[in-house]
A and B are shown apart, each in its own frame.
Chain A
């Protein structure tokens, strides 16, 4: 590409600029107020700016403006055009340096077909026709041999691009392939949500943080992982909210908090339960709230641990108007009450403590207790002294914080992935959810519990585009691909397993190859074919049989709306596709027609990809339901538009409708139908007592603390207890969005291009490791080398690795070779894709460290 040189004398420049009406004058400071604009605006000779939306897998969805000259993006800056100034200027260092990826040396230039062994990098360049014919041919062969359900599809997070990712879903549905939901694949699905509230996940929009008085952050590093929203946390603090950070490590977020409470790894449940005990013992709970909105007044049979159903009780009749996915349970206020699951109206004298004899229709008489009574009994174990032993939080602090919290409303709990990406992450969420629920801090401004890692919730209805003609979709949690099927799984295991992968927007061969399993599967031809669309030559491309060059989010049209940010926004092409790249929509359409000529009609044949994408956006806006009602493409072309919500002022406050209007739980989690998720909380209430058989068998009917590793690492290998005493924690650094930007030249300059392992001074000393030394982190499954940072803020016996490095920065070994695909049986009770599914537990991993090289 030839670049026209723009060399102007000052006089010429002044003339041009003045003509464009933008020059204020070299000496002028009259206008330092940045004016946001939506339409491309001339700012100088051949320079224009295009407003688009940054959309890697951080889901920040930041509006950015590309400065374009002669068809090249010269620089990027925040668009800062949100109508609510609080949200400006949204963006971060990765987004500002996207030019390094768009024009960088790892950019894919042409389609590639693998010649040598997978991972060898031995490819031949191919034409689009050749590569598409090859890919379609191989996929057809595999579908013919093993069935189309043996082809697995990974397309990551829908909200970051409803059009292009929707095209993949559309084709996968037509072709009968199996889809893997990114939420559980990425380990981001906090299973306490479906268990407790019956939803996929919920969160306060960050602007609501300003309304909070007490913030408890468990295992979340907002300052590094939510850079565009972190200022709200500091503003809340400076407005008088107290910020409490519970974390084994002194993180940047902990440094800005009022108090940092170091706790032992994976001991958050003990802390939550200890505080819940204080709330109950000291009667600091909101009795009215828990009677109205939770299952705590519902009776549980003492003989079998099951909740008492209305149609079991002699004197009761189950109400007739109850949907099949609900159940009527029983409460007691001197008389037995059949509790209608869709009416939140128990009398205020309903019994929550004590027990009662119940005559059943069978003639038996059994003893029953309200779930609250059982909870109180269960919490008796979590005395401040006991919690101090389990979690390391001083007993006095625990009691003080519980009292403070109870007296400061609204209370908001930020429940982070550092906390829940463990085998018993679900128990921690259930335990911590007790705190806002017992104190009535749900469904109100600035109140609740939120997860900000993994933002997968679909913001509006997408079926018209994602699911052609309502056809059936096949879904399989990705953990089974690595682990193999289990006897207890509810998802359908394809007869021949997964034999091929169609991958986009992800780098699973670095990010998900637990125990190197994926690479082995390709090398041993267990996975017979892998095709990847990406705009860069990732490790995953290296292991693919066909690599189809896509484009970055500055070269295509899409629609973006993620849960963390309440705006609907367009992606608009700032430049034409670089090299031979094509938008994923085009690649999918070309594949579709080669797989089956009948499929082409589903993908707007004859329209250019950007035109077709606009048609899809119009379709989605028309059929997306109340959240996007009345929003038009023309409005979006002018700038971001806030999604609609039932909450006054359109604010994003979870469970507002449930609490303010006494609607049954759960609210709908799109794209699932209500009956799919309502079965998780059959009482129509916030549930802390789970009576499914597996919950009872595992002793998890109520939230309890279970120590890490016992049911995972030590069950797998009892020797690990002695051999591997370090926790292998893989956290996010500010320099990458998962593995995106691993190769960004400026990001690497900022950290000397080296992966790091963070160790405590005590461990450094014991292991003879100094700052800068090369350190091998290892266990029986794998190893990775990183350079030591000795940090007094790191907890002892922790090896903290900053995740996302491509293998070429770690001697070819993925940092995920150490992890293991544990499957927790309680995650298999139901299966709704990405909502109740086995979830990756990255941090449930033990290792050891040894020095392998001196600091230079």
Chain B
């Protein structure tokens, strides 16, 4: 089994709902975003790129690309970053020593570091006393590795887990359920009958920085406008 995702950029409206669903459900502290949506080529989201007559504006959501050949995992000196039996790249927060080699190694810039205790950072927002957001329960993988905890301690690196805590309950990741554009499809890349496999066969897909040999399991369907013949 290899879990992967297909993101249809033709359908993506750049609304950033996936990023917010991810942030909320995974209890990310202020400043941390596991999932971001960019307007490639533009200095500001949803500002046009190009010149008169050749303007464009596309949206690109980027989170952990779940590489089959994950550079972050290779450089991790403690084995904190590992790939589970479903191909999901995860971080064991109890093993991470915060050396941040993985952040340097990741070509996608999706890994984020907890400089401070997450609880303290969140408290500075000024929520009601005692309020904490996000999935409230720790989640450990089958070998007992801590791959989700609502407040990651200072000194660990974090990133997208495909919502490990929800997968365990048979639920889809938050970004998928949170996407009003139905842009994202999730499933087993090894299963030829899965929706993701069918999409990859049927549609033209690209993977980010494929030339680096990282072999991501996140596929993108290129944005395209329908091409029609001019009718006189």
For the complex, what is the distance from the CA of A103 to the CA of B45, rounded to whole Å?
Answer: 28
Name the residue of chain A whose CB is nearest to the CB of B185.
A32
Min distance, Cβ A159 to any Cβ of chain B, angstroms? 20
A100 surroundings in chain B (CB, below 8 A): 125, 133
A719 surroundings in chain B (CB, below 8 A): none
Mask for B124-137, Cβ within 8 A of A = 1, else 0?
01111111111111
In this complex, the member of B137, B139, B180 whose beta carbon has the largest number of chain A beta carbons within 10 angstroms is: B180
A92 adjacent to chain B (CB < 8 Å):
yes
A527 adjacent to chain B (CB < 8 Å):
no
- Docked complex: B167-183 residues within 8 A CB-CB of A: 167-172, 174, 177-182
- Docked complex: A1-35 residues within 8 A CB-CB of B: 1-3, 6-8, 10, 13, 17, 22-32, 34
Cβ-neighbour of A789 out of B10, B44, B86, B169 (below 8 A): B44
Mask for A101-122, Cβ within 8 A of B = 1, else 0?
0011101000000000000000
B85 surroundings in chain A (CB, below 8 A): 27
Cβ-neighbour of A791 out of B48, B126, B141 (below 8 A): B48
Q: Is B57's CB under 8 angstroms from A23's CB?
A: no
Min distance, Cβ A579 to any Cβ of chain B, angstroms? 8
B215 adjacent to chain A (CB < 8 Å):
no
Mask for B1-41, Cβ within 8 A of A = 1, else 0?
10100000011011111011101110000110100000000
A89 adjacent to chain B (CB < 8 Å):
yes
A758 surroundings in chain B (CB, below 8 A): 47
B116 adjacent to chain A (CB < 8 Å):
no
Q: Is B140's CB under 8 angstroms from A10's CB?
A: yes
For the complex, what is the distance from the CA of A234 to the CA of B10, rounded to whole Å?
Answer: 8
- Docked complex: A52-91 residues within 8 A CB-CB of B: 67, 69, 72, 74-78, 80, 89-91
B30 surroundings in chain A (CB, below 8 A): 745-746, 749
Name the residue of chain B whose CB is nearest to the CB of A233.
B13
B51 adjacent to chain A (CB < 8 Å):
yes
Q: Is B141's CB under 8 angstroms from A78's CB?
A: no
A626 adjacent to chain B (CB < 8 Å):
no
For the complex, what is the distance from the CA of A410 to the CA of B169, rounded to whole Å?
Answer: 45
Cβ-neighbour of A23 out of B44, B56, B142, B168 (below 8 A): B168
Min distance, Cβ A393 to any Cβ of chain B, angstroms? 15
Name the residue of chain B whose CB is nearest to the CB of A262.
B52
B135 surroundings in chain A (CB, below 8 A): 67, 74-75
Q: Is B169's CB under 8 angstroms from A77's CB?
A: no
Name the residue of chain B whose CB is nearest to the CB of A95.
B17
For the complex, what is the distance from the CA of A255 to the CA of B54, rounded to whole Å?
Answer: 11
Contact A77 to B174, CB < 8 A, known contacts A7-B138, A96-B21 = yes
Q: Is A227's CB under 8 angstroms from B47's CB?
A: no
B201 adjacent to chain A (CB < 8 Å):
no
Name the residue of chain B whose CB is nearest to the CB of A756.
B44
Q: Is B133's CB under 8 angstroms from A74's CB?
A: yes
Q: Is A10's CB under 8 angstroms from B144's CB?
A: yes
Min distance, Cβ A799 to any Cβ of chain B, angstroms? 15
Min distance, Cβ B183 to any Cβ of chain A, angstroms? 8
25 pairs, A vs B, C-beta closer than 8 Å: A10-B138, A23-B170, A26-B142, A27-B85, A29-B1, A29-B188, A43-B169, A47-B136, A69-B136, A72-B131, A75-B24, A78-B177, A78-B180, A96-B17, A103-B131, A103-B133, A223-B13, A224-B46, A228-B180, A250-B57, A252-B59, A255-B55, A258-B225, A579-B128, A792-B49
B residues contacting A by CB (< 8 A) are: 1, 3, 10-11, 13-17, 19-21, 23-25, 30-31, 33, 43-52, 55-59, 85-86, 125-142, 144, 164, 167-172, 174, 177-182, 186-188, 225-226, 228, 231
5 smallest beta-carbon distances between A and B, as pairs: A793-B48, A105-B126, A24-B170, A31-B170, A255-B57
